[in-house]
Chains A and B, each alone.
Chain A
Amino acid sequence: MIKKIIPVRGLVVATLVATLSLFIACKGKESKTAKKQFNLYIWSAYITDETVKKFETQTGIQVRYDTYDSNEALLEKLQSGVTEYDLVVPSDYMARILIHQGLLLELDHSKLPGAANLSSRFRNLPFDKDNKHTIPFLWGTTGIGYNKTKVTEPVDSWSILWNPKYKDRISLLDDPREVFGAALKWKGHSINTKDQKELEEARNLLIQLKPIVKTFTSGSFDEVLLSGDVWLSHGWSGQLAKAIDQNKDLAYVVPKEGSTIWVDNMAIPKGAQHLEEAYAFMNFCLNPEIAAEITNISGYPSPNEAATKFIKPEILKDPARYPDDKTLASCEFLEDLGETSTLLDRYWTEIKSR
C-alpha cells in the first residue's frame, strides 16, 4: 500500500524547531543597537576590511557596509526612500543627479576639518559647486591602453583609433559620452560642447570609425587587451593600470588633446540616522595616512594632497595613474548636457546600429 518514505513526524518537528531558531537568531541581532554604528554603501574594491577595522578600533563605531556595482544601483536604492545608508560614494555625474533630485544632505563643513587636505584641483567641481554635498574620494582618467609590441607608432593622440592599420584590434567604451568625447577632443572641441556642428562632425568621424572597431565594452576593455584580442583599448585608468601590472607589454596614455577626468565622492543621503558617525568616517578617510592606504590598496589615485607623501612611489610615478599636470589640465569633467543629450543618444543609436 503506502510506503512510509520518510519519518514524517520527525520532519515536521524539525521544521518547526528550525523556523523558530532562525526567527530568534534574526530577532536577537536586531535588538542590540546600544553600540554606536553606521551604514556605508560603497563601490566594491574601494575599501578593505582592514581599513574598516582600523576605523572601528579608533572610534568605537561599528561599520556595516555593502558594496554596489553601478551608479544606477545606488540611485535605485536611494530613490526607494527606505534605505538606512548613512554614507554613499556616487561618481560625478550621478552625484549631480542625486543633488538634483534632492536625495543628498547639505554637508556641514565645520564638521569636516579633514577637507582641508584636498587638492584644490578637486574642490568646487562643476557638478557640486563649493562641495555643498560631496567630498572627493578617489579619481581617475579615460584614455587608451595599448600593446607596445603590436602598435609600432607612438600612441599620443586620439587619431590612432582611426588608423585603418588596426582594423578589428580596437575596443571602445560602450558609453556615448566617452566615445563622443574622444572624437570631440581629437578635433579640439570640449567634451561638453552643445554646438550642433561640432557634434555632427564627431558623429561623422564615429561613423567612419565603426567598421574598424572590434567591440564596444565598458566592462572588459582590460581583458581584451590582456588576451591579445585587441591592441588599442579605450578605457578607464584604474582597470588599465591593473592590467599593466600584469603584463609589462602594455601601456596607458591620456592623449595629448585631452580627455575625461572622473571622480567618485562621499556623500550623505537625506534622512541618514547616524550623522555624527558618517562625519567621523569622512574625516577618517580624509586623514592623509588613511587616504594613502586606500590608494595603495585599490590602486586608484587620491584627491588628497596631504596623502601624497604616504602613497607608494611606484603608484605616484605611474603615468597611467597620475598623469602630469599638463595632461590633467587638458582633461574635463563630464557635465550635464541638458537637452543636447537626446541628440547625442540619437546619434549613438545610429552609430551603434550600423
Chain B
Amino acid sequence: MRTRKLSRWFLFSESSFVYLFLYAPIVILVIYSFNSSRYAIWEGFSWKWYEILLKDQLILRSLKNTLIVALTATIASTVVGTIAALGMQRFEFRGKGVLDGLFYLPVIIPEIVMAASLVIFFGFIRFKLGLATVILAHIAFCISYVIIVVRARLEGFDRTLEEASMDLGANELQTFFRVTLPVIAPGIISGALLAFTISIDDYIITSFVAGVGSTTLPLQIYSMVKTKVTPEINAISTLLLIPTILLIVISDRLQREEK
C-alpha cells in the first residue's frame, strides 16, 4: 500500500518537474514580451513591443515570405508525398528497398549537409537564389516527412475495401475518392501539418538557399538577435505560439475523431 502511494507521489512530482522544465522558459518569454525595458530587467507592463512589431516592415515582409513558402511547400509536398506513398505501398519492383531508404534520407542526414548540397546544386545549375529556391528546398525536405506519416497510415489499410468497391461497380477514380482517400485522410492531414510546422521554423537550410527578398521569419529573428532588440523577438515568438497551439489542437481533434 505504502509503496503505491510513494510511487504515485514520485511519478506526480517527476512529471510536474518535466512540464516545468519544458514550459517555464516559454512562459518567461511571454511575460518578458510585455516588459517595457529593452533588457531582461522587469520595468513594468507595456504593449510597446507589439506596436513596434506591427510597424516593422522587415518583420511583416518576412512573415509574408514565411507563409508563402510554408503554404506552397506544404501543398506541393503533401500531394507528391501522398502519391509516392501510395505507389510504394501498391507496387513491388526491383530496387524498391533502395528507393524506400532514399525517401528517409533527408530526415536522417544532418541538415547542414543538405543545406550545403542544395547551395552547391543551385550554383551548379546557375539557378539564382530567391523565393523559388527556398520553396524548392522546403518541398524537398517536407516530402520525406509526408511519406513517412502517410505510409504509417497505409500500413493498417485494408486493400479488400478497394476490391469490394470495384466489385460494386465503382471505377478506379471513384474508388480512390470515395474509399481510399477518406480512410487515409487523417494521415495526409497529419503529414501536411507536420510539413507546415517544419517549414515554418526551418532555419539552417533556408539561411543557405535564401536570396534577394526571400528572408523568412526565422532568418529575420536570427539577424535581429545580434543587434539586440530582444523584447521585439519575445513579442514575435509569443505571436508565433498562438497558431502553433491552434495547429496542435486541430491535429489532436482529428486523431480523436478517428477513435
Contact = CB atoms under 8 A, between A and B. Distances in A.
B123 A45 contact: no
Contacts of A73: 207, 223
Contacts of A152: none
Contacts of A70: 226
A44 B161 contact: no
Interface in B32-46: 37-41
Contacts of A68: 223
Given A9-B177, A39-B212, A4 B226 contact: no
Given A5-B186, A45-B229, A84 B223 contact: no
Interface stretch (B101-109, B128-136, B236-244): B128-136
Contacts of A67: 58, 215, 220, 223-224
Contacts of B68: 22, 25-26
A239 B39 CA distance: 12
Interface residues of B, number: 56
Q: Which of under 10, 10 to 19, 20 to 34, or 35 or more describes the interface residues of A?
A: 35 or more
Given A2-B161, A5-B186, A64-B212, A223 B40 contact: yes
Interface stretch (A74-82, A116-124, A177-185, A340-348): A74-82
Give the residue among B39, B186, B220 with the most A Cβ atoms within 10 A.
B39
A227 B68 CA distance: 39
A2 B183 contact: yes
Interface in B157-216: 161, 177-179, 181-183, 185-186, 189, 207-208, 210-215
Nearest to B131: A26
Given A2-B183, A8-B181, A22-B71, A242 B127 contact: no
Given A6-B185, A15-B75, A44 B213 contact: no
Given A2-B161, A67-B220, A219-B225, A8 B212 contact: no
A66 B212 contact: yes
Contact of A44 (B129, B210, B227): B227
Interface string A231-275: 000000001001100100000000000000000000000000000
Contacts of A18: 71, 75
6 contacts: A9-B177, A44-B227, A66-B215, A69-B226, A82-B119, A223-B228
Chain A to chain B: the 4 pairs with minimum beta-carbon distance, closest first:
A69-B223, A45-B227, A69-B226, A39-B212
